Structures are given as structure tokens and as C-alpha cells.
Copies of this chain bind each other. A is one copy, B any other.
Amino acid sequence: MDTMILNTMWVLIASVFVFLMHAGFAMVEVGFTQSKNAVNIIMKNFVTVSIGVLGYYVVGYALMYGTDVSGLIGSDQFVLMGSPESVAGISFDVFFFFQAIFAATCATIVSGAMAERTKFFSYVAFCVVATTVIYPLIGHWIWGGGFLSSVVGFRDFAGGTAVHAVGGFCALIGAIMVGPRNGKYKNGVPRAIPGHNIPLGALGVLILWFGWFGFNPGSTLDITSPATAHAAVTTLISGAAATIAAMILSNVKYGKPDAGLTLNGALAGLVGITAGANQISFAGAILVGAVSGVLMLLAVEYIDTKLRIDDPVGAISVHGVCGVFGTLAVGVLSMDGGLLYGGGMTLLTAQIIGVGISATVAMGLAFLTFVGIKATIGLRVEESEELHGLDGIEHGIAAYMDL
């Protein structure tokens, strides 16, 4: 009983930390894009939080945590009807609170990659599907008693795959289908379209980092477990290592320590450690962070110049690539069954299968959703609207009036 209250308090507070991540995402996306689309991005963030939470309340929670059917999907507790008083040793209300904010996070990732040329209501439609179907379905497989955890033995501590890789791979499909921003590629050569407000972007990254201390340590749902404190430290040092790694590599490659890549480096390290924050050693966390920072930078370059997919904020690289990497790293570095800790290939294999299925299904569902949206309300704004910025035409207001 006492432990339940302690853990309820802890997860409630952790949830509040995670909630502020939505301010972080908003500032990162605004800061890293052009001022003429800032209002549109803000609107998408507010809608994401709101739809995410309401959609998860009505449908998402039931599909994710309702009574399991064949390891595939949850089947009851729609609109939270028939929910128990407590789950996983904490108050049900707090459990729902924590989960609902997570659901909204997954969709937000997509908004960054599709920024500056996507119709507002098309994104809204995707957001509904993402938080009521895509995220809960895969979330059920991973956390809700579905087959990835129960049969495959897949492990994803705080959502390296369930949130970040799923979000990142939906973002990949979205960015491909909406196409690059006008003027982004000239004869296949990418042009840099710099963000308009680096200080706001930096504020966003630091707010995200702050929130991640709820996201990862909160995911134990158990303050009495040493894994909670462990996850706080790994989250701290993985982010730090990735920041430095990305900063140094950008300096080596481009002759200057690049701000955008350094800031995204921090996020890469945070995403990277998410899947294993509770079970990777401190040294392992530094390694995961450093590799995440490097991978992110290489992925940004590769996606931009080779694949020619336009991802204004680097969401695919940060969340998709580092989410996958971090999840696989659990198979190698987990102190509880990882390859380097005498666990053989069992866990690593499970991780490969789990992340492969999750990413594939996320992409498939995102593809179907975007096809449907494209065929109905359309995906992309008019060229003239893109040129003038989405703020005036979609929302009738400019982000900055008299600066």
C-alpha cells in the first residue's frame, strides 16, 4: 500500500516532466524551421497533444492495454470503461496519465519531418490515426502483453522502438510522400534551409532533456527499484556523450562545431539510451550516446544528400535511426542477457525481430494512412502557399509581427 502511493507519486511527477516535452518539441521544431511557418508548427503541436490525449482516452488505451486477444491487440476499456483501480502497482489514473502523454509524443515526431509543406488538417488526420491505431497497436505488442514481448522476448524499456523508432519511421514515410520543400533540391543537390531561431531550438532541446528524466526513469513505474536512479544517470551521460560526439564529428567534417548537429546530438543520445536506460551500464551508456551522435550525423547527411528525403528537423535520423540503434544495442550491452554479458544471441535476435517488425508495420500503416489522406483532403499545400509560408494562408496570422 505504502509502496503503491510512493510509486503513484513518482509516476505522477514523472508524467508532468514528460508533459513539458511537448513544449520542447514545439520549440525545437519552430527553431529549426523558417519563421513563415512557425504558427503552423505551434498549431500542430497543440493539436497533437490534445488529439493524442483524447484519442488515447477513447480508443488508444483500450487497444494498447485492454484484454489481449491472441497477442495482437487489446479489446476492452474503451473510454476507460471497466478500468481497474490500479495497474502495475500504481493508481490507474496515473498509469493512464503517463501513457497518454507518451502517445502524444509519438505523433509529434512526424510533424517535424513533414514541416513547412503539409496541410494542417492532413496532419491532424494522421495524428488521429497515429494515436488511436498505429502507436497503440505496436505499443500493445511491446508493452501491453502482445506477442513481441510475450513470444519474441523483445525488450524496449522506455520506448526506443515503441515511441521513437515508430515515430521516426512514420516520419520517414510522411517525408517521402509529401516530398521535399520547394527549392530544397536543385538538380538533386540539397540546399540548406537554416532554422530561424537557434536559441528557441536550444531551449527546446534542453526542455526535452529535462522531460526525458521523466520519460526514462519514470518508465520503471517503481521508485523503489535501483533501475530508476540508474536510468536517470544513463540518460544524463548518454545525452552528454552524444552532444560531444556530434560536436567533434561536425568539427572534423565541416571545420566548425555545428550548432544544429550538436543540438540534435543531444537528442540522438537521449533517443539512443531510451530502450535500455535501465539495463545498460554507465560506460555502455556513454558508448551508446557517442555512437548515436555519430550515427545521427551520418544519417542526416545520407538522408539529405543520398536519399534526397527532406526532413527539416532531422527527426528521421534522431528518432528513427537512433531509436533502432538503441534498441539493438540492448541486445549487445544489456547487463541482463546482452551479448557482451554472456547472453549469447538470444536477446539480440529478439531485438532485431522486434524492431524489424515494429518499424515495418509502422511504415506500412503510415503509408496506408497517408495514401488515404492524399486521396481525400490531399497532403501538400499549394506551391504559392508554401512560398509565402503556411502561417498566413492556413492560419491568417504571422508568428512575429513587429520585430
Q: Name the contact of A232 in the complex, choosing from B45, B94, B256, B397 (C-beta under 8 A).
A: B94
One digit per residue, 1 when the CB lies within 8 angstroms of any chain B CB and 0 when it does not, for chain A 12-26 equals 110111011011001
Query: Chain A: interface residue count, which band?
Result: 35 or more
In the bound complex, residues from chain B placing their C-beta under 8 Å from that of A93 are 226, 229-230, 232-233
A237: chain B residues within 8 A (beta carbon): 53-54, 57
Instruction: Determine whether the beta carbon of A46 is less than 8 Å from that of B262.
Output: yes
Q: A196 an interface residue at 8 Å Cβ cutoff? A: yes
Of the residues B47, B243, B258, contact of A243 by C-beta under 8 Å: B47
Q: A26-B203, A45-B206, A194-B397 are in contact. List 10 more A-B contacts (CB 8 A).
A: A5-B6, A19-B213, A20-B207, A43-B247, A46-B243, A51-B244, A54-B286, A94-B229, A100-B236, A197-B401
Q: Can you list 15 pairs linking A and B with CB atoms under 8 Å apart?
A: A2-B2, A6-B9, A13-B13, A20-B207, A23-B210, A27-B199, A35-B402, A50-B243, A54-B244, A93-B233, A94-B232, A194-B401, A196-B401, A197-B199, A198-B397
B-contacting residues of A (Cβ < 8 Å)?
2, 5-6, 8-10, 12-13, 15-17, 19-20, 22-23, 26-27, 30, 34-36, 38-39, 42-43, 45-47, 49-51, 53-54, 57, 79-80, 85, 91-94, 96-97, 100-101, 120, 194-200, 202-203, 205-207, 209-210, 213-214, 217, 223-224, 226, 228-230, 232-233, 236-237, 239-241, 243-244, 247, 254-260, 262-263, 266, 282-283, 286, 394-403
